[in-house]
Structure 1
């Protein structure tokens, strides 16, 4: 049976699979400038054989940080990074509205069994406290047919401590076509492509597809086969169950919970999200992986 282990390296959490580091969770990175909204991220993320799946701070979008969780608009603040989208006529403009997502403290978790958790604070451009997040990850080994990979589950709750409702929005709500990015978001390594895409077992040909499970039969720049599965659940998740992706001129995929409609964190209330991502070497059967992710 494959061994899962969580180790500490300062405030980093190092995720290992059979004594091989397959992901590093960084809660603070002083090298990220304010324009790119510092936030916790996972990078590099690797397959069990060590193939790097994620990209970090590419020239085209230096605010894309491996696998991370954020929203483009939280109230009047940019928690995504880079420019702010002001509509089809103005497009993106860089203004001083960027905030950041800061690690607060580690929470009790069963790290011996692959679980780690912490509290975070979402701060606006003026350091105003926007949201308090309770984030928990759990890493497990998963088998599809004869292939074993690993899965990371994210269960997180955003608490609004304020006395007013707080909108969480994407460029889609300001008129950008296929601009509903926001939530758990994966920037792929340079040159990553897709040989096939399915959502709930059906072929996908355009970003914005609906479904609880999304399977990417991918290829690295070197031609190596890698499969990535993404799933809404097993717990309840706020928002839509849609999938946003690009593979030209760069590659990314995300849980598009606000693809068409924005979300609202009610005053004194909360929004919960439950997601899974699984990573495998080779091409695994999409139908079997869909069943495993939903199990």
Structure 2
């Protein structure tokens, strides 16, 4: 990877009015908005995202471009490095140097709709480097369903295919020696404030960060997000959970070792998130997982 250090760009502005947006609805309520062709600065690694995502009672449980990390875009697929291209946004971690601004931010571009309905959004995308080289193609499937009187479930599935004629390495900063920084894949930026992290093995970040678990839950002020690893491949991935500086939850495609994707090869992941008003106890979380995971 050629390293081109540059000065930190000026603070990017919010998306302009007119971004292409689709809405997921349940029982005549808009539960999530999907910006499928957003107008974003290159520094944020432009990509489709969900925001706002709301509980059935109307509480927003995502954050978009917060002051702490402007490249956090609600709910998205964000990968720190694909063959040297940054699809996470912001700075890139360089071994022996640390985070630095590089001219390497990629873009996820909408290609075509396969299905667009109130409860399901399915489309194809192209992941390109900053100089326009296609690296990956993607099939993405978002759907929603009621999960009880006070909860609904968001299914977020994606299949990535190597679009090049060479092996593509997918890396997190942890693969370059940044301890604990295994982020990259499905990622949810949640609202700040008091919260509780729970998983089958216990409570707190230490119980689940960098570990595999069939589910984890985050309970905030009047809401709960229950993240379910919904297919076998996703269950083999560790969770990334950060509560210092911000609240972010992700399912990590790779941690300390790069994921090597052969030419034409694919990877598929699916996370189901139960968005609930109020608390979800351990027994309820296990029951949701048994019902919603394939």
TM-score by length of 1: 0.87
Report the CA distance between 1:201 and its aligned residue. Answer: 5.4
- Among 274, 280, 283, the alignment partner of 1:284 is 280
Runs of 4+, deviation exceeding 4 Å? none
| Equivalent runs, 1:69-108 vs 2, <5 Å | 69-87=77-95, 89-108=96-115
Asked whether the 8 Å contact 2:23–2:30 carries over to 1, the reply is yes
1:231 paired residue number: 228
Match of 2:61 in 1: 53
List per-residue Cα deviations over 1:148-189 (Å, max 9, x = no partner).
Answer: 311111221111121111111110100111101111101112
Q: d(CA) in 2 for partners of 1:193 and 1:167?
A: 37
* Cα distance in 1 between the residues matched to 2:245 and 2:273: 23
User: Mind listing any 5+ residue stretches in structure 1 that lack a counterpart?
Assistant: 1-8, 220-224
8 Å contact kept, 2:234–2:271: no
CA contact (8 A) 1:193 1:251 kept: no
| 1:26 aligns to 2:31 (yes or no) | no
Query: Would the alpha carbon gap of residues 201 and 139 (structure 1) be closer, same or farther in structure 2, given more than 3 Å must change?
Result: farther
2:71 equivalent to 1:63: yes
Q: Which residue of 1 aligns with 2:120?
A: 115
What CA deviation, in whole Å up to 9, does each residue of 1:182-219 have, x standing for no partner? 11101112x33313x22235334422232021111223
Q: How far did 1:281 drift?
A: 0.6
Q: Deviations over 1:243-278 (max 9, x none)?
A: 211222211111123133332221111111121111
Question: Do 2:20 and 2:38's aligned partners in 1 also have CA atoms closer than 8 Å?
Answer: no
Task: Report the number of matched residues.
Answer: 272
Inter-CA distance 291–149: structure 2 relative to 1 (3 Å threshold): same
Match of 2:247 among 251, 268, 274: 251
Q: Which residue of structure 2 aligns with residue 198 of structure 1? A: 198
* CA spacing shift, 1:21–1:192, aligned 2, 3 Å: farther
For the residues of structure 2 that align with 1:201 and 1:115, how far apart are their CA atoms? 33
Structure-2 residue corresponding to 1:269 = 265
Aligned-residue Cα RMSD (Å) equals 1.9
**What is residue 165 of structure 1 aligned with on the other side?**
167
Q: Residues 173 and 262 of structure 1 are in contact (CA less than 8 Å); yes or no, is this contact kept in structure 2?
A: yes
Distance 2:257 2:290 in 1: 25
> Which residue number corresponds to residue 4 of structure 2?
none
Q: TM-score scaled by structure 2?
A: 0.87
Per-residue CA deviation, residues 90-144 of structure 1 (Å, 9 max, x unaligned), is 11000101111011100136x35x222000000011110000001111211112x
Secondary structure of 1:27's partner? strand
Aligned to 1:135: 140
